[in-house]
Structure 1
Amino acid sequence: MSDFINENPNVLDEAQLPTRNQDNDNDHYDVFQFQQSQHDNNGLCSLMASKRLSYILQDAQNDNTSSSILEDIDSMSQLIHLQSDFKNQRQASMDLDISMEDETEERQKIDPQEIYDLIAHISDPEHPMSLGQLSIVKLEDIKISDETDSPETRMKDLVIQITPTITHCSLATLIGLGIRVRLDRALHPKYRPTIILKPGTHQSENQVNKQLNDKERVAAACENEQLLNVIRKMLSTCK
């Protein structure tokens, strides 16, 4: 397997592999930190308003002398304003909580780049390089889609196309199995990975695809201790 005859024969350096834009991540983190700070400040203001209301009520209960009408009106006015401020601050805090929940959900979404990061550093079982370096896995060949007909479960279909280094690669099934084991261990069960060979890149394309996506065959393969040892070695270089 020393010859490379598929689409991208060039071996990539680790520094050339696609990565996420770190500047965008830092900006995203700063926004999250700012929102968290605002949430803490609103909570403190609400607590102070609640304490002030408690003090006024306590003073009113301990006051056994007759108050003037003006003092009563002033006290009631303070109570009304405090209650109004507390209500507004509580609503603002609730709105911010909802916004932060949406932000957290957005941050937890998995995109093709994250999938690529999970599998690109898997070692090739024959060459002393990673699947990303050999262009066996490519960012543009990873697709994630929602299943629209079952919104209650929100299952997500994950399709990964792999490109063997040569069209008669005898280890294509092993490579696909290593990718599947890696994803099964790293992803939530709602993600359903489908691993297939890129069309036209292997002479036994249909047979390999069937093996990689047959649950019974995959389960049987994962019970083979010798095969698992090879997969463990492949996954040992993952970051």
Structure 2
Amino acid sequence: MTLGLINANPVVREKKERISRSDVHLHCDLHDALSVLSEESITVDEKLGRILITFTPTIQHCSMATVIGLCLRVKLKDCFPPHFKVDIKVAPGSHADEEAVNKQLNDKERVVAAMENPNLRQLVDECLHSSEL
């Protein structure tokens, strides 16, 4: 069986230094080469200590959607105080398994279990490290 590229010609955009929303800056320096985030997809409520990130996977059957979400969660956890609650979702209608991906990304036990998997943790760490280059 030959594995082909699902998205052989991705659109690569220039790296943004900072994404701001509601006077809060994501000092995380989120590297978004595939343009899955936009400033409008970030909602921050400082008073309630809540952040909502809605990202758009590159294709309907993106197998990396949960990894992208985990990377966002880990990066935001490192950038914001622990009292902030982070919700991460795929944009409505942007993924074939939207409900399952959203459930997995926002279930605390599933996230902890995923990050305890050494292979998955290594993948997330590599994605975050490569985004800092």
Give the TM-score normalised by the residue count of structure 1: 0.48
Distance of 2:90 and 2:13 partners within structure 1: 20
Counterpart CA distance in 1 for 2:64 and 2:113 is 17
Q: Tell me, in whole angstroms, the C-alpha distance in 1 between the residues paired with 2:85 and 2:39.
A: 18
CA root-mean-square deviation? 2.3
Where structure 2 has 5 or more consecutive residues not aligned to the other structure, the ranges are 1-5
2:103 paired with 1:210: yes
Matched, 1:238 2:129: no
Q: Distance in 1 between matches of 2:73 and 2:11?
A: 25
Unaligned runs of 5+ in 1: 21-108, 122-131, 147-153
> Matched residue of 1:202: which SS?
coil
Q: Identity of counterpart residues, as a percentage?
A: 37
One-letter identity of the residue aligned with 2:119 = Q
Q: Which amino acid aligns with 1:133?
A: A
Larger-gyration structure (1/2)? 1
Aligned to 2:13: 12
Trace 1:9-48 onto structure 2 (pairs within 5 A): 10-14=11-15, 17=16, 19=18
Give runs of ≥4 in structure 1 deviating > 6 Å: none
Distance 1:18 1:140 in 2: 16
Q: Distance in 2 between matches of 1:195 and 1:214?
A: 10
1:2 corresponds to 2:7:
yes
Report if the CA contact (8 A) 2:17-2:29 is conserved: no
Q: How do residues 14-93 of structure 1 correspond to structure 2 at under 5 angstroms?
A: 14=15, 17=16, 19=18
Instruction: Indicate the structure with greater strand content.
Output: 2
Q: Deviations over 1:185-220 (max 9, x none)?
A: 221012111000011110100110000000000010
The residue matched to 2:28 in structure 1 has which SS? helix
Question: 2 CA distance for matches of 1:139 and 1:187?
Answer: 17
Distance 2:53 2:105 in 1: 11
Partner of 2:90: 197
Contact 1:120/1:137 (8 A) holds in 2: no
Aligned residue pairs, count: 125
Q: Deviations over 1:88-133 (max 9, x none)?
A: xxxxxxxxxxxxxxxxxxxxx961xx22x52621xxxxxxxxxx22
The correspondence of residues 46-195 of structure 1 with structure 2, limited to 5 A, is: 111=24, 114-115=25-26, 117-118=27-28, 120-121=30-31, 132-146=32-46, 154-195=47-88
Contact 2:18 2:28 in 1 (8 A): no
For residue 238 of structure 1, report the CA deviation from its aligned partner: 2.8
**Distance change in 2, residues 1:232/1:163 (3 Å):** same
Query: Could you say which residue in structure 2 is the equivalent of 1:24?
Result: none
Distance 1:18 1:199, change over 3 A: farther
**Cα distance in 1 for residues equivalent to 2:11 and 2:72:** 22
- Tell me the equivalent position of 2:3: none
Task: With the length of structure 2 as denominator, give the TM-score of the two structures.
Answer: 0.82
